[in-house]
Amino acid sequence: MEINYVLDTLFALFAMTLIIFMVPGFAMLEAGLVRTKNVTAVLTVNIMVYAVAGMAFLLIGYSLAFESWDNDGMSKWAAFLFQMAFVGKTVNIMSGGVSERTRIIPLSIFTVIMAAIIYPLVVNVTWGANLLSGTMFDISSMHDLAGCTVIHSTGAWALLAAILIIGPRRGRYTKEGKIRVIPASNIPLVVLGALLLWIGWFGFNGGSVGSISSKENADLVALTIMNTNTGGLAGAITVGLIMYIQYKRFDITMILNGALGGLVSVTAGADIFDIYTPIYVGAIGGAIVVFGVAMFDKLRLDDPVGALSVHLLNGIWGTVAVALFADVSLWDQVKGVLVVGVFAFTSSFVVMYIINKITPFRAADDEQLQGLDIEECGLEAYPEFKRSI
Amino acid sequence: MMKKIEAIIKPFKLDDVKDALVEAGIEGMTVSEVKGYGRQQGHSELYRGAEYIVEFIPKVKIEIVVSTDDYAQKAVEAIATAAKTGKIGDGKIFVSSIDSAVRIRTDEEDEEAL
């Protein structure tokens, strides 16, 4: 049916456009959370990640993931664009968590490997051609609608590897064992970024249904987007309440992290949950963020944007939650989490270890003190304001 | 004898202080945003579940140069009254002597320049 083909192509292009809103989303979120002296560098990384990852996926990654470009249901170019919209997100998740101390060149080299090989292999064994078919590691029966494990966990496992290799920001953990708080520089940007990500999520999850051109599919897409939104609402409310009960103050950066945690947590099952399940799943997802941010700080894993809590812990929780709240095998979900986790973490660690030997990821202490804007970009984001140290 | 009055005050008191100075007959002042560390010793803020101390607190510094001791006395009283909240961190007023002054536009000097 030609009309279905046209509708689904339009739908994929619309979803892809929404997902691309996550590029400015990540960029603004990170620009607001880092100190003013590192804002240009963080924004440059975001642009480079989008450009390099998209290009690597076009030239190598897409074929590795799906083997063939052929598509019967919609324009194959639309199908490509939709898949390409995801690939940068995996790297964004990782680059945000190592902000303020990481050099742009090694990060760009890792982006090539991630978008051309690591992420496409994860897609291959989950949604794609399936290299592991028939082996004991076959995880294609894991239910992961839009990449709770495939994208969020994969990116965050790479982030964990990166933090282990790069280390914390200079002065973040003092010799006396204290944690030095490094506050956000621009709260309005954090809010704008988080809300752009939220909007992007409607395309991220809704588009992953794959087709809107029948009554059933139209319902399924709408339900998926509704459940996605509910997860975000529940995460924001839960974290708002927890912060107020615990500290008697509302911390908007945590509330937004809670919303994002809620959104990640429903990314695996938004299409098969009933309309109330995302409330529980998202609320737990939000609570996980509060607990996770403190835990990773105790472990001295310095993550300025909370990406480990939002994407790793909730990527795992969201994938497992599908089995707890819907009719899906728990073992399939756990096996998917484990296989992807071991592969994504190990391969990222090895690749980064080698890149790090060739050109170090970590900016030297005096470069960090000066700020990466001057060192890496030669351009300050806020030249008329005094920089805080 | 020309006098300079420097006052460090709470930022939200600036308008009150300006009005009081104008009422006392002081025609001009220079204002800058500054940060200070004094008996207030900063205040605590909360970020991502961790409390931290902001040690340097934003203040406003007002500088006025007047032509007589009498005006200096009036200015100090006006500022002290208008800037007072009675709580810690209200600020301080310093008075010093000025040797010379020039108005750039007209080359007038000293008291003429004020």
Output the DSSP codes for A173-223.
Answer: B-TTSPBPP---S-HHHHHHHHHHHHHHHHHHHHHHT---SSHHHHHHHHH
Q: How many CB atoms are closer than 10 A to CB B17?
A: 24
Query: Which of the 8 DSSP states describes residue A362?
Result: B
pLDDT for the residue B45: 84
Q: Which residues of A touch B (CB under 8 A)?
A: 179-181, 183-184, 243, 246-247, 249, 251, 253-254, 290, 293-294, 297, 306
Tell me which of A243, A251, A293, A388 to substitute to probe the interface with B (most B C-beta atoms closer than 10 Å).
Answer: A251
DSSP H/E element including B54 = strand B50-54
Is the pLDDT reported for residue A276 higher than 80?
yes
Contact at CB, B52 and A183, closer than 8 angstroms: yes
Are residues A52 and A111 in contact, defined by beta-carbon separation less than 8 angstroms? yes
Contact at CB, B47 and A181, closer than 8 angstroms: yes
The sign of the torsion formed by the CA atoms of A300, A306, A312, A318 equals positive
The residue that leads in pLDDT, A386 or A350, is A350
Shortest CA gap B51–chain A (Å): 8
| Cα within 13 Å of Cα(A295), Cβ side | 12
| CATH code at position A347 | 1.10.3430.10
Query: Which of the 8 DSSP states describes residue A376?
Result: I
Are residues B4 and B40 in contact, defined by beta-carbon separation less than 8 angstroms? no
* Chain B residues with CB-CB distance to A306 below 8 A: 48
Instruction: State what percent of residues in chain A have pLDDT above 90.
Output: 94
Across A318-322, average pLDDT: 97
pLDDT for the residue B55: 86
Taking CA–CA distances from A247, the nearest residue in chain B reads B49
With 0-12 CB in 10 A as exposed, 13-18 as middle and 19+ as buried, what is A76?
A: middle
- Per-residue model confidence as pLDDT tens digits over A14-41: 999 999 999 999 999 999 999 999 999 9
Contact at CB, B49 and A306, closer than 8 angstroms: no
pLDDT for the residue A61: 97
Six-digit token string for A85: 């919209």
- Please tell me the distance from the alpha carbon of residue A89 to that of residue A53, in angstroms, as a whole number: 9
For this complex, say whether ipTM is above 0.95: no
CATH architecture of B3-113: 2-Layer Sandwich (3.30)
Shortest CA gap A278–chain B (Å): 25
- Per-residue model confidence as pLDDT tens digits over A214-254: 999 999 999 999 999 999 999 999 999 999 999 998 999 99
Picking from A183, A290, A294, the nearest residue to B47 by CB comes out as A183
DSSP, collapsed to helix, strand or coil, labels residue B4 as strand
Contact at CB, B49 and A247, closer than 8 angstroms: yes
Taking CA–CA distances from A183, the nearest residue in chain B reads B47
Residue A319's pLDDT band, with cuts at 50, 70 and 90, is very high
Our count of domains for chain A comes to: 1
* Domain range enclosing A77: 2-130+142-377
Q: Is the pTM of this model over 0.80?
A: yes
Query: Which of the 8 DSSP states describes residue A56?
Result: H
Which segment of A220-224, A238-242, A335-339, A382-386 scores lowest on mean pLDDT? A382-386
- Please tell me the distance from the alpha carbon of residue A342 to that of residue A175, in angstroms, as a whole number: 33
Q: Which residues of B touch A (CB under 8 A)?
A: 45-52
Residue with tokens 């800058």: B32
- Please tell me the distance from the alpha carbon of residue B63 to that of residue A212, in angstroms, as a whole number: 68
Residue A385's pLDDT band, with cuts at 50, 70 and 90, is low
* Chain B residues with CB-CB distance to A184 below 8 A: 47
Contact at CB, A181 and B49, closer than 8 angstroms: no
pLDDT for the residue A389: 43
Is the pLDDT reported for residue A386 higher than 70?
no
The sign of the torsion formed by the CA atoms of B9, B14, B20, B21 equals positive
Residue A240 belongs to a domain: yes
DSSP, collapsed to helix, strand or coil, labels residue B64 as strand
Residue B113: closest CA among B67, B81, B69: B67
What's the mean per-residue pLDDT of chain A?
95
Regions of chain B with pLDDT less than 70: none
Strand B3-9 with B57-66, pairing: antiparallel
